[in-house]
Amino acid sequence: MKGSRITNFLSLSREHPWELAPFSEPLAGGGTVSAWDTGVLCFEPASPGNKDIVISCGIHGNETAPIELCEQLLRDLVEGRLSCGHRLLLIFGHPAAMNQGVRELEVNLNRLFSGAHERGENGGRERQRAGRLEQYVGRFFGQRTDTERLHYDLHTAIRPSKYEKFAIYPYTHGQPYSRRQLAFLRDCEVDTILLAHGPTTTFSYFSAHRFGAHAFTVELGKVMPFGQNDMGRFSAVDHCLRQLVSEPEWAPAPLEPGQIRVFKVCREIIKQSDAFHFHFGKDVANFTAFEPGELLAEDAEHSWRVGDQSEAVVFPNPAVAKGQRAALMVLDYSLSGAELD
């Protein structure tokens, strides 16, 4: 398989960043691997297990560590060094932004799902890309109805984090949180969980809400250029993803109390105008805590202060477009047994 188009699929996708004609090749061990479009690969083993797994990366083009991790996973599956035990959809989200080394070209791709790509005027090609990615995930999950559906959307953050690796658990609409999935994330050394407080237009929420998937936005560290990532820092998540994909009977050890740290979103700070600015420095890390009453940000006619209890900030980014989320504010939270399945 060395030298095949699938083996070099990331390079091929970057050469054709917006569209690629479909093609297929045999999969080592039996079955097929099919390119559905640029950056979209479907692995169909001859005897798939009971999981349908989506792993996505590069939804933001400058978040390179997950891209490099997924490219090596792809090569090992195609070249037979790793068996494929489940159906797998592998997505390299934004090849055009990868080519320019930027987060986005005009619009944040991870704010365009659940139909948001149909609203707005700028960023036409990114909106088209989001719509097509929705279709491919729907096509993948729609081929079977009696399987466990999983989606791990891998990212790295703009800023460093007090807790380096963390995951956003999409809003569940009252459904319990998965104890087994929290155990899986713990084994990935993703031991900090942020519970979303409502529907969003992210890729992971789309899969969770539309298809009932266990889906997560997984933050694996800080943004670095291609070739400058210490891949040893991702060895645990790499190992767990490989076990999940290749071993149909593999499962994480049971979750024990105290093994994960949980926060819950209490509010969003939305940028209203070009006058928006934070009252803390650019070096403030994710999950930095602020005391009650502290001034967080100001805009032309708005200001944001901490409420009656300490709050921590996540994803502060004053450079977002007007009307977009400039930060999440979160509170410490303890999951009760009644909230877990």
Q: Which residues are catalytic?
A: 219
Spell 35-61 as b/e; 16+ CB within 10 A means b. Answer: bbbbbbbbbbbeebbebbbbbbbbbbb
Q: What is the dihedral of CA 31, 9, 141, 24, to 10 degrees?
A: -40
Q: Which of 221, 261, 246, 195 is nearest to 48 (CA)?
A: 246
Cα dist. 280→47, 222, 277, 297, 300 in Å?
A: 54, 19, 9, 8, 17
Q: Longest Cα pair distance anywhere in the chain, in angstroms?
A: 62
Give the integer Cα–Cα distance in Å for 97 and 102: 5
Q: Which of 47, 67, 69 is nearest to 57 (CA)?
A: 67
Give the integer Cα–Cα distance in Å for 287 and 331: 10
The identity of residue 203, as a single letter, is F
What is the separation, in whole angstroms, between the first and last Cα of the chain? 42
The number of residues making up the chain comes to 341
Structure tokens at 128: 């088209």
Structure tokens at 193: 């969980």
Residue pointed to by tokens 């767990």: 240
